[in-house]
Structure 1
Amino acid sequence: MASKAPIYRPQPAQAVPASSPLAAHQSTVNGLQHEAPTREPAPSSSTEGFFQTPPVILNQLEDDVALQRSLSLFLPKSIRDEIVPELHTFGDKVLSKPVMTLMADAEHNLPYVKPFTAWGKRQDELITSEGWRGLSAIGIEEGMVSIGYENQYAQYSRPWQFCKYLVWTGSSCWVTCPSLMTDGVAAALRKHLSDPSIQGQSRMAMTNAYEKLVSKDPELAWTTGQWMTERQGGSDVSQTETLARYAPELSEYEAQSAGSDGMSLGPWLCSGFKWFSSATDSQMMMFLARTPKGISTFMAPMRRKIPGTEETELNGIQIQRLKNKLGTKALPTAELVLKDVRAYLVGAEGQGVKEIATVLNVARVHNAVSAIGFWGRGLGIARAFARVRKVGLKPLSSKAAYVRSLAKMHVEYKANVLLCIFVASLLGIVEQPQIAAYNDATGRPQQRTTVEGTGTLPKAAAAEHIFRLLTPVLKGLTAKSAIAGLAECMECMGGIGYLENDDAQYNIARLYRDVNVCSIWEGTTDMMAHDVLRVVFGKTGKEVMPAMDEWVSSGLQQATSSLRKPAEQVMTLWAQWKKDMTSKERGELELRSRELMERLGDVVMSTLMILDASQDMDETAVCAFSAWMDFKGISGHADSGDWQKLVERNQVVVFGPHGPQDAGDTRAKL
């Protein structure tokens, strides 16, 4: 006989604290309090109970106001109209399931070396994952290097390239490291190919390499390593122990062995040890070695053909071991033994440090945009989480202290994005004469001519000096900001932010691991601060300071009436910085070099924030500038005043004027 269901018998109503979740089950009918019938509480399990609604990571072009404002500030509308649809499509692609699958594969299947064949012959075969190779191909196809060399938009090609690069970074698993080096080496080779006097085998080798480095075809394109670091120092290359000797006569074996993809073997033999060499899977390398005339720059193919076969072998290189690093796990970084590497001299003997400076300046821009790109992805995840997460019965996005923390990150992130694209724009201006010379030397048609500077960008004559001063500032500040920012992003997510999440799109822990290298690669923060002083007190110091002074002054003069007072405060900061540089002893400036670099960064970023807000007095831009001045303590009242207005301002900074639930398409703003 079936058992009868229990009869529900109402119990006398009892008072329930307003803060209790049970209060939601009570209602009032005819003035009397009733408790709605509830089921007996059941324990949670692996399949029952609360499950967090997954955050939806939005297309960065639609969700990242800093990126939108950078496009608006640094690119003419005619160019924006052409590139925004492509950037929007790419924003979807980097978050797509196929790309996430490649990311997961690259992180799980790490590179390794097979040192010997089955018969005991040394081979040093580097094995990389399908995910790594797939992501590399995407970066090449999407023009992470080639956009800067196609020069379709003249001086604006570089800001366009790096805006796209910023969107790519969070999904790239550091395939951008080879891109970084490839771009710098391509710029160095283009400079030499612009000189018609360079002829013969060297020109053929450089032309062959250059055309492959700037290709968009993954089947043809090369990447390159850039090897400077040895055991005795990182960025200090003065004690380089790799030696090079001129030996143009090839052995019979070498004469039958072409380089990788047909690059002939060079007339120099180079031997030594490289302590930290990234992009070990590249097709060529540029490195430093010492000749009788001093430290010099060389280039060489990574591999050469084995005579009489279709197989290849390393060009005098042995992989001693791969590095075990905190982050950048998918990127193969190695210790390399160089034994009679056949190479070409690039530039003049003894001028290696000067030659490699071209590579470093471009690489430092990449490093900075990589750092901010990682941070931008982390902030996108944090915003998405705040939209769906509840604390008790209230959305996390309504918590004033939490949103204040997000707002502080967002304004610093925006200032760093503006600085990145500003310096990238300077690079675009500086390169145009060299590109014109390269086109002349190679018989290529000239493209659009350089457009002289506007109120945002300096004129061409000043751009080179400002670029040289701000490149180390950019590299030094963005790295430290992004590292601290991604630590905050992890905390914003609570425990799940700390997890090595198998779902690649939410893995902030990976982003944090990967971004930490940005303060070390291409020069540490203190080295960047020292470099700032070298520029100010170097041979071109007399030109650098007036160029910088003119840009800051003209930029601040464009402040609208409501922003003139804070613009005057920024001008006061700039005046004090100039005074310190001329009144204090060099030893004290060295002692305080990092602080001086940070203060210079504050001046430049504040000026850019004013220029951005003044272009249209957009509510979000104005709120962001106000918050920036408060959080930096520049305004003199450091986030004080009407607290309710501050809460509203912070909401606008993080989520826009329509609040956290407004996640619609914002392309119309562009």
Structure 2
Amino acid sequence: MQPSSSDTGFFQDLPELPNQFYDDVSFQRVFKFLIPKDLRRQVEPELAQLGEDVLAPHIFELVTDAERNLPYLRGNGRNALGRPGSELVTGEGWRGLQAFGMERGIVAYNYMTEHEAYGAHARVLQMLRFHLWEASAASTTCPGAMTDGAARLMQRHLANESSLGKDSVQRQVFQNAFDRLTSRDPKRAWTSGQWMTERSGGSDVSQTETVATFVGDDAGGLDSDNLPLGPWSIDGFKWFSSATDAGMTILLARTQPGKGLSAFFAPMYRKRDSGVPSAKVMTGSNRNLNEAELNGVRIQRLKDKSGTRPVPTAELELKGLRAWMIGEEGKGIREIATVLAITRVHCSIACLGLAGRALGVTKAYSLKRVISSETSLGRSRILLCRNPLHMQTLADLTVDYHCLMLLTLYTTHVMGLEERQPFTCTGRSLFDPPPELVAPLLRVLSSLHKAYVCKQSVPLLHAVCMEALGGIGYLMNTETEAINMARLFRDGTVNAIWEGTTDVLSTDLLRTLMHHTVGKSSLNALEWLLKTAVGQSTAAALLLPAFAALRACIEKNPAENLLADAREILFRLAEILIAALMVADAHSDKSSVAEAMMQRYLLKKGFLSRDAAAKAVLATTGEARLALNTTIVYGPNGPNMQHAARL
């Protein structure tokens, strides 16, 4: 026996992280479920290349730099003699990762003219690309989400001549903003902020204290592109504003008592007035800081967060912020809803992208880690991927992950349909809903998927990011960033809070389903989805009565009786819809493995009783059960066991 030392003895081999596009069984299956075969063949090479590029060593070096060199206010926001300066400094890692995302068109993909032929699938493909990029992006996908929402809002108004006027200055301003938001040139591209949260209300924007005053165009100044800054002057204080280094923002403000909130677009920069103190952001962009300054914005302080630390999130004082109104005065909630629908999908995709990467690391680790095993034949040494309990756990987690992917990306498909009006839907398939049901479906799914997926992702992320790797998973492995699971868990948990907490979204969903005008159409849309997904399958007898009972409860009770149960209603509805999508997925190619996953989900969520017949679903034992679990986790070709012969 030889004693170990710091340099001798056993050292665990690092897991070899494979390309997630190929390795992620659920990603591949959902890709095939949602995207037609001809289009899959067309886009697969580019998706596969992205999956490879996000694992490049220099990407992880940028991640480590972004985490170590966090954004800060030079001089804590003042110069040596106390004058306010608001000089924000971001690191090379953050800027480099943002540039990578812009160059790869992570946001632009859905808006590129060459992708118009993809129809609704362009939105799904865009989100699949976000999914692959998320875990390597060091949270640059957070401003990416708001940029996507702002781009869609600009696009929607540019398509409406009555909204902006055919040749108006405001149309020119909005077109310039849209072009920058969807640019793939980092020197030209903008990200966007989204400023709603204030000290008075949090998610309750009805308490907004920011005020907008119409002052006209005179002496309003020019933005950094020599376009007018806007005829509205805005004053107030925004409590939680991400993407402080953005080129523009969308925000809410009051215009007059009793009028409601209005939405505004504001450039972040204006041409410098030599008589105004300096206020600037050091981001390495194309802005000439000798000529531009912040547009009536003072960065009060940066937030110190437990996760998403590279994101420059700040408290902002607005004084004379010049802006353009978006849409009608007092209709700002309706306008911001366009942004929220998109950013909520991004929240779910962020959770799933992190969970998918964590599963990839855990699977790779299981092919390297050797453990002791007790069997009827005695003690032996086996790979972790041959341990029956470990593989049962990973299979169960894979089923959970797969279910959340189905719900999120089906919602994304419906969003893609809604964005590409007029509809050409016929109602003959799950992916082709009747035109009159598209908007009600999206209205319900927007709140439902975000609340359920982001909340359920927290225990999923803990299990696959940390617990599956033991103590190694709990460490901030910045020296080996590719397996820094603690970072993935820490960054993922915020999504259950951003863009509406679980309780807020549950209340929104209940309010929608019980609304005197849109409630019935929303319930009808959900019923259509459910019936179309399950068809004539045996699961119909389980899921249709469950939905009918839930619908009767909603329709027969007053809102005040159900409000305390809003979260339970949302969760049960989500589980019914997921079960239906699992049925449709399994029947799409008659896969016995997908059928087994669907049966496990039905059993876990109580749609199947735990009697002898239901337990027969999991009755396989020994090698047969291990083989099924291994196929669920690693796919039909199984794990790469080439190195096992060396044991």
User: Is TM (by shorter chain) over 0.5?
Assistant: yes
Is 1:210 aligned with 2:188?
A: no
Partner residue in 2 for 1:409: 397
Which amino acid in the other structure matches residue 321 of structure 2? V
* Secondary structure in 2 matching 1:264: coil
Q: For 2:217 and 2:522, how far apart are their aligned partners in 1?
A: 47
Which amino acid in the other structure matches residue 306 of structure 1? R
Are 2:341 and 2:446, in contact at CA under 8 Å, matched by a contact in 1?
yes
Q: Deviations over 1:635-667 (max 9, x none)?
A: 212873425054443222112344333699xxx
Are 2:25 and 2:634, in contact at CA under 8 Å, matched by a contact in 1?
no
Q: For 2:89 and 2:435, how far apart are their aligned partners in 1?
A: 46
Are 1:193 and 1:206, in contact at CA under 8 Å, matched by a contact in 2?
yes
Partner residue in 1 for 2:64: 104
How far did residue 357 of structure 1 move?
0.9
Is 1:168 aligned with 2:133?
A: yes
Structure 1 residues 647 and 565: alpha-carbon distance in aligned structure 2, compared to 1, 3 A threshold:
farther
* Secondary structure in 2 matching 1:148: helix
Partner residue in 2 for 1:224: 192
Partner residue in 1 for 2:575: 602
How far did residue 630 of structure 1 move?
2.7
* Secondary structure in 2 matching 1:81: helix
Are 1:63 and 1:663, in contact at CA under 8 Å, matched by a contact in 2?
no
Q: For 1:358 and 1:166, how far apart are their aligned partners in 2?
A: 21
Which one of 455, 462, 477 corresponds to residue 429 of structure 2? 455
Give runs of aligned pairs for residues 142-541 of structure 1, distance below 5 A.
142-150=104-112, 151-152=115-116, 153-197=118-162, 198-199=164-165, 200-251=168-219, 254-255=220-221, 258-292=222-256, 293-307=259-273, 310-392=290-372, 393-433=381-421, 450=424, 452=426, 455-457=429-431, 458-489=433-464, 490-502=466-478, 503-538=480-515, 539-541=517-519
How far did residue 404 of structure 1 move?
1.8
Give the number of equivalent residue pairs: 601
Structure 1 residues 263 and 174: alpha-carbon distance in aligned structure 2, compared to 1, 3 A threshold:
farther
Are 2:217 and 2:230, in contact at CA under 8 Å, matched by a contact in 1?
no
Percentage of identical aligned residues: 39
Q: For 1:263 and 1:450, how far apart are their aligned partners in 2?
A: 38
Q: Deviations over 1:70-120 (max 9, x none)?
A: 111111111101111101000001111111111111111111011234565
Are 1:155 and 1:451, in contact at CA under 8 Å, matched by a contact in 2?
no
Q: For 2:160 and 2:302, how far apart are their aligned partners in 1?
A: 38
Structure 1 residues 80 and 663: alpha-carbon distance in aligned structure 2, compared to 1, 3 A threshold:
farther
Is 1:51 aligned with 2:11?
A: yes
Which amino acid in the other structure matches residue 499 of structure 2? E
Runs of 5+ consecutive residues of structure 2 not aligned to the other structure? 275-288, 373-380
Q: For 2:19 and 2:426, how far apart are their aligned partners in 1?
A: 33
Which amino acid in the other structure matches residue 387 of structure 2? K
How far did residue 535 of structure 1 move?
1.6
Partner residue in 2 for 1:445: none
Q: Deviations over 1:123-169 (max 9, x none)?
A: 21111111111111111122221111124311111111111111111
Q: For 1:530 and 1:468, how far apart are their aligned partners in 2?
A: 13
Q: For 1:634 and 1:390, how far apart are their aligned partners in 2?
A: 38
Are 1:389 and 1:396, in contact at CA under 8 Å, matched by a contact in 2?
yes
Q: Deviations over 1:202-245 (max 9, x none)?
A: 22211111111111221111111000000012211001000111
Which one of 509, 532, 549 corresponds to residue 527 of structure 2? 549
What TM-score do the two structures reach when normalised by structure 2?
Answer: 0.90
What TM-score do the two structures reach when normalised by structure 1?
Answer: 0.87
Which one of 83, 86, 100 corresponds to residue 138 of structure 1? 100
How far did residue 576 of structure 1 move?
2.1
Q: For 2:347 and 2:452, how far apart are their aligned partners in 1?
A: 11
Partner residue in 2 for 1:86: 46
Partner residue in 2 for 1:628: 601
How far did residue 627 of structure 1 move?
2.2
Are 2:514 and 2:555, in contact at CA under 8 Å, matched by a contact in 1?
no
Are 1:430 and 1:460, in contact at CA under 8 Å, matched by a contact in 2?
no
Which amino acid in the other structure matches residue 465 of structure 1? P
Q: Deviations over 1:347-383 (max 9, x none)?
A: 1111111111111111111111111111111111111
Are 1:318 and 1:338, in contact at CA under 8 Å, matched by a contact in 2?
yes
How far did residue 122 of structure 1 move?
2.7
Which one of 586, 594, 611 corresponds to residue 559 of structure 2? 586
* Secondary structure in 2 matching 1:46: coil
Q: For 1:628 and 1:400, how far apart are their aligned partners in 2?
A: 19
Which amino acid in the other structure matches residue 20 of structure 2? Q
Q: Deviations over 1:461-513 (max 9, x none)?
A: 31221111111111001111211111112011000000000111101100111
Q: Deviations over 1:393-412 (max 9, x none)?
A: 12111222222221111101
Q: For 1:287 and 1:407, how far apart are their aligned partners in 2?
A: 44
How far did residue 618 of structure 1 move?
2.1
Larger Rg: 1
Moved more, 651-660 or 323-332: 651-660
Are 1:263 and 1:301, in contact at CA under 8 Å, matched by a contact in 2?
no
Give runs of aligned pairs for residues 114-133 of structure 1, distance below 5 A.
114=74, 115-117=77-79, 120-133=82-95
Are 2:531 and 2:540, in contact at CA under 8 Å, matched by a contact in 1?
no
Structure 1 residues 462 and 79: alpha-carbon distance in aligned structure 2, compared to 1, 3 A threshold:
same
Q: For 1:86 and 1:473, how far apart are their aligned partners in 2?
A: 31
Q: For 2:206 and 2:518, how far apart are their aligned partners in 1?
A: 22
Structure 1 residues 109 and 310: alpha-carbon distance in aligned structure 2, compared to 1, 3 A threshold:
closer
Are 1:66 and 1:418, in contact at CA under 8 Å, matched by a contact in 2?
no
Q: For 2:19 and 2:316, how far apart are their aligned partners in 1?
A: 40
Q: For 1:264 and 1:479, how far apart are their aligned partners in 2?
A: 40
Partner residue in 1 for 2:628: 649
Which amino acid in the other structure matches residue 368 of structure 1? S
Partner residue in 1 for 2:587: 614
Partner residue in 2 for 1:30: none
* Secondary structure in 2 matching 1:245: strand
Runs of 4+ more than 6 Å apart:
none
Structure 1 residues 329 and 386: alpha-carbon distance in aligned structure 2, compared to 1, 3 A threshold:
same
Are 1:213 and 1:223, in contact at CA under 8 Å, matched by a contact in 2?
yes
Give the CA RMSD over aligned residues: 1.9
Runs of 5+ consecutive residues of structure 1 not aligned to the other structure? 1-40, 437-448, 559-563, 665-670
Structure 1 residues 203 and 577: alpha-carbon distance in aligned structure 2, compared to 1, 3 A threshold:
same
Are 1:165 and 1:369, in contact at CA under 8 Å, matched by a contact in 2?
yes
Q: For 2:625 and 2:548, how far apart are their aligned partners in 1?
A: 30
Which amino acid in the other structure matches residue 410 of structure 1? T
Q: For 1:82 and 1:485, how far apart are their aligned partners in 2?
A: 33
* Secondary structure in 1 matching 2:230: coil
How far did residue 588 of structure 1 move?
3.0
Partner residue in 1 for 2:24: 64
Q: Deviations over 1:422-479 (max 9, x none)?
A: 011000100112xx7xxxxxxxxxxxx8565552322333122111111111100111
Moved more, 301-310 or 600-609: 301-310
Q: For 1:580 and 1:142, how far apart are their aligned partners in 2?
A: 48
